[in-house]
Structure 1
Amino acid sequence: MNRDNPMRLLIHRVFFSMAMYRFVILLLCICLFVPRVLWAQKIVGPIVFLKNEQLPVTAKEFYVVGVVDDRVDRNAVAWLWSTGPGIPAKYTIDLKGGTIAAIKQFVNAALPPNKILRPVIIHIQKFRLDETPLSLDHVEGKLKVSLSFYLQKGDQSIRLSDYNGSAGYNRHVNQQIDIEPVFRHALEYGLTYFNTWINSEASTNIKLARAVKISFTDYTEQPEGDTVYYSFKRPLTWDDFKAKPLNSKFGAEILPSIGYSEDVDVSKGIVNVHLSTKAFVPKSASWVKTDSKNAYSLNHEQRHFDIVKIIVERFKQKLRAEKYTVDNYDGPINVQYLESFHEMNVMQDQYDTETAHGMNIAAQEEWNEKIDKELRSFR
C-alpha cells in the first residue's frame, strides 16, 4: 500500500468529513427533540407546592379552626395535559402531603390563629385545575375554587358565607408553567374575601352576634281605637263598655288580656330585642247593664284591668332575670309569656272567687289594697 498516495488520502478525508457531518446533524436533532420528550413525561407523585407565607392582612374577627374536604373527587387538584409522541393523555398532580394537610398548613401560615376570636371552619367544595387542548399546539388551564365558611358554635356549624373564584391561562404545549402560584393566589383571594366580609358583618349580622339585650316599652296607640291600652293616666270609664249586655246574673264584664310585639336589630355585635308589652281591654267585648253603672262596679272592673298590668310587669321582671343565647332568645320569651298568660287567668279567677264578683265588699277592699300596693312598685 502506498501510504503517500494523495488521492487515497483525499478520499479518506472526505469519508471522515461526511461521518462527522452525519454525527453533527444527528446530535442537533436529538437536542431539539429532547425538551419535547421531557415535557411529555408524566410527573409521578405530589408536587412541592404552596409556599407558606403570611397575608398582608390581620384577621381580627376569626381564626380557622379546621378545613373539611367536601369535594366530590378527592383524588387530585390538577389534571394536566401531556403531549408528545403517541396518544395525548391527562395525568394528575396533588399537593404535597395531601390536599387538606397542605391547605391547613397554608392557612395557618397565611392567617396565624388567634384563639380568642371566632372559630371558623372552611369547607372545600371545589379546588381543581383542568387543562384541555385548544389546538394542536396550545393548551388551556382553568382553575375553579369554591369555599364555604362556617362558624363553629359548640356542636353546631353555622354557614356564614361562600367564596367562588376562578383563574385561567393558555400555554404552548412545549411551554412549562409553574401552577403553584395559581393555587396559592386562589386561596389568598378566598381568605382575603372572607376576612373583608366578616369585618363588615361582625357588628350587624345576627349570626356573628355575641350577646342579647332585652328592652321594654309599653305599647300605646294614638288616636285610640277600639282597644284601651293600660295607662296609669287612663282609667276605664263606662263609655268604654260598647258591647250589648249579655243575659247574665252579673252587671258588667270586661275581657282584659296581655300581649307583646317584638322588634330585633343587631348593633355592635349585640342582638337588641325590643319588646312592646300590651295590657289591654277591647271596648267591643266589654258590656254593662244600665242599673250597674256605678262607681263601685266600675272599680271592680278596673281591678280586672289592673291585674293584667301587674302580670305584664311580672312578665318583664322574669325576662330581665333570664339568660339568653344568640341562637335562642325567642324560646325563653315565649315560655315566659305562656306562663304569664296562665298566671293571669289564675289570678283573675282568684280575684272573682274571693270577692264573689264584687259582692263581698270586705274582700274587695283587701284586693284593692293588694293591687294598689303592687302597682305602686312599678311606677
Structure 2
Amino acid sequence: MVDTRPNNWPGVAGWLLLLLVVLAAVPAGPLKPLVLQVLPLDIRPTTFTIAEVRDERPDRTAVAWLLPVPAKSGAMPGAPVAVDLQGGGTEALQHFFRKSLPHNAALRPIIIRIKECRVTETATPGGQIEGRIALQLAFEWQRPEGPPLLLTEYRGGARYGRLPSDHSLVEPTLRRSLTDALRYLNGWMNAATAHDVRLAASVHPTFHNDLRRTEPDTLFYDPARPLRWSDFTGRPRPGNYAATVFPGFAYRGQPRVQNGVVELDLTLQVFVVRSSSWVGPGQQTASHLNHEQRHFDLVKLVAERFRRKATADSLTVEDYNSILQLQYLKSFTEMNRLQDQYDSETHHGTDAAGQQRWNQHIDAELRRYGVTGAHHAE
C-alpha cells in the first residue's frame, strides 16, 4: 500500500494532541441553573406551619453570581455569571420552604419573607474559588385578625471553597443555609410560644385585693377596718357639708406568659386619700361617719363589678390591656354616677329614711359579692 499523506501530516499521537488543544481553546458553555433539592429534614414543627413565602429580594435577576470554568487550565476565570435556580428563583425558594416541612393547618400560620438570598463568588490568589452565601429572612405570624405580626428575623449564610472547574458545592451549601434558617425558626418558636406574650393563646386574669396598712396617706379598703375620723386629715372647707371623703379605685399588675397563657396577676386597689378627706368642727358623729363609709363601700362595689367584667372570655391576647382600660373607664364613670345618686337620694346623709334604704341596699350588694366582715358605724 502506498502512503499518499503529505510528509507533514500528523500521526495518531499528533491528532490526539491537536484535538486536546482545540478543545482547550473552546470557551466553556453557559452555566446550567442550580437544582435546589428538597430532602427530608429531621424537623417536625409543633407550633407553626409555613403558610406563605414572599420573595422580597431587591434584585431577582438570579440567586447566584458564579465564576465560569476558565477557558484554559490555570487561567483566571472570567466575570461572574448570573445563575438562577431551576424553575426560577422565586418559585424554587417557595417550593423549598413549603415542601421541606410538613403542613398542618391546625398550627400557627407563618409567613416567610425572603429579603436576601444571594450567592457570590470571587477568585483567590491560590487559584481557588471562594463562595459566600448571604441569607436574610423575616418570619411573621398571620394572625386570625389584624395584619401579620413580625416575630423575628434571621441573618445567616455560609462560605465554601471549590476548584475552578467544579460547581458541585454551590447547591448543597445553599441548601444547608436555607435549612439552618428553618432550624432557627423551629427553635425560636418552641421557646417563644411558652414565654412570648405575643404568641400566647389565652389570657387568665387573677385579682388580689390590696389590704396594706402601711401607706401614711392612703387607706386601702378592708371590710374589717372601716373608716375612722382619724382618717380625715384634710383641712375642713367652708360650705354646707359636714364632712367629705375622697375614695377611688385602681388596678395594677404585670403579665407573665406561662405555657402559652398570659397569666395576668392584678392587684385591685380600693382606697381613700386621707389628706383629701376632711370633717368639719363638731361634725364627728356616727351618722356622718356612716354616710362617708357608704361612699367608700360604693367604690368597693363598683370595683367588684369591674373585677367580674375582666374575665378570660372578655380579654384577648392582642388587646387585653386596652380592653381592661376601657372597662376601667366605664366603671369609673359608673362610680361617679352612683356617688351622685347616693348623695341626691340621701340629701348628703340628712335624710334618715333615704340613708337607711341605701344602707340596706349597699349591705346586700356587699354580701352578694362576698364582701363580709364589715362593722360600720350606725
TM-score scaled to structure 2, two decimals?
0.90
- The percentage of aligned residue pairs carrying the same residue is 36
Q: Which has the larger radius of gyration?
A: 1
In the other structure, the counterpart of 2:105 is 115
In the other structure, the counterpart of 2:86 is 96
Which secondary structure state, in structure 2, belongs to the residue aligned with residue 264 of structure 1? Answer: strand
Counterpart Cα distance in 2 of 1:324 and 1:35: 74
1:145 aligned to which of 135, 149, 168:
135
1:352 aligned to which of 335, 343, 350:
343
In the other structure, the counterpart of 2:13 is 24
Further displaced range: 51-60 or 67-76: 51-60
1:75 aligned to which of 61, 86, 89:
61
In the other structure, the counterpart of 2:119 is 129
Q: Per-residue deviation at 1:183?
A: 1.4
Query: Is the Cα–Cα contact under 8 Å of residues 53 and 106 in structure 1 kept in the other structure?
Result: no
Gap runs ≥5 in structure 1: 4-8
1:243-280 Cα shifts (integer Å, max 9, x gaps): 11111221111111111112201111111222211111
Normalized per residue, the structure richer in helix is 1
Root mean square deviation of aligned Cα: 2.4
In the other structure, the counterpart of 2:176 is 185
Counterpart Cα distance in 1 of 2:173 and 2:18: 35
1:255-312 Cα shifts (integer Å, max 9, x gaps): 1111111220111111122221111101111111231111111101101111100110
Aligned length: 365
1:84 aligned to which of 71, 84, 88:
71
1:206-247 Cα shifts (integer Å, max 9, x gaps): 121111111111123242421001110110001101111111
Counterpart Cα distance in 1 of 2:92 and 2:5: 63
Counterpart Cα distance in 2 of 1:94 and 1:274: 54
Q: Per-residue deviation at 1:51?
A: 1.6
CA 89–280 in structure 1, closer or farther in 2 if over 3 Å, else same: same
Tell me the amino acid that sits aligned with residue 71 of structure 2: G
2:51 aligned to which of 65, 76, 80:
65
Which secondary structure state, in structure 1, belongs to the residue aligned with residue 198 of structure 2? Answer: helix
Counterpart Cα distance in 1 of 2:101 and 2:31: 31
CA 32–163 in structure 1, closer or farther in 2 if over 3 Å, else same: farther
Which structure 2 residues correspond to residues 231-270 of structure 1 after superposition, within 5 A? Answer: 231-270=222-261
In the other structure, the counterpart of 1:309 is 300
In the other structure, the counterpart of 1:290 is 281
Query: Is the Cα–Cα contact under 8 Å of residues 24 and 71 in structure 2 kept in the other structure?
Result: no
Query: Is the Cα–Cα contact under 8 Å of residues 48 and 110 in structure 2 kept in the other structure?
Result: yes
Query: Is the Cα–Cα contact under 8 Å of residues 110 and 139 in structure 2 kept in the other structure?
Result: yes
Query: Is the Cα–Cα contact under 8 Å of residues 322 and 332 in structure 1 kept in the other structure?
Result: no
Which secondary structure state, in structure 1, belongs to the residue aligned with residue 181 of structure 2? Answer: helix
Counterpart Cα distance in 1 of 2:230 and 2:119: 79
1:272 aligned to which of 260, 263, 277:
263
In the other structure, the counterpart of 1:6 is none
Counterpart Cα distance in 2 of 1:283 and 1:178: 78
Q: Per-residue deviation at 1:137?
A: 3.2
CA 351–14 in structure 1, closer or farther in 2 if over 3 Å, else same: closer
CA 197–112 in structure 1, closer or farther in 2 if over 3 Å, else same: same
Q: Per-residue deviation at 1:176?
A: 4.1
Which structure 2 residues correspond to residues 325-344 of structure 1 after superposition, within 5 A? Answer: 325-344=316-335
1:34 aligned to which of 11, 16, 23:
23
CA 203–252 in structure 1, closer or farther in 2 if over 3 Å, else same: same
Which secondary structure state, in structure 2, belongs to the residue aligned with residue 43 of structure 1? Answer: coil
Counterpart Cα distance in 2 of 1:14 and 1:329: 98
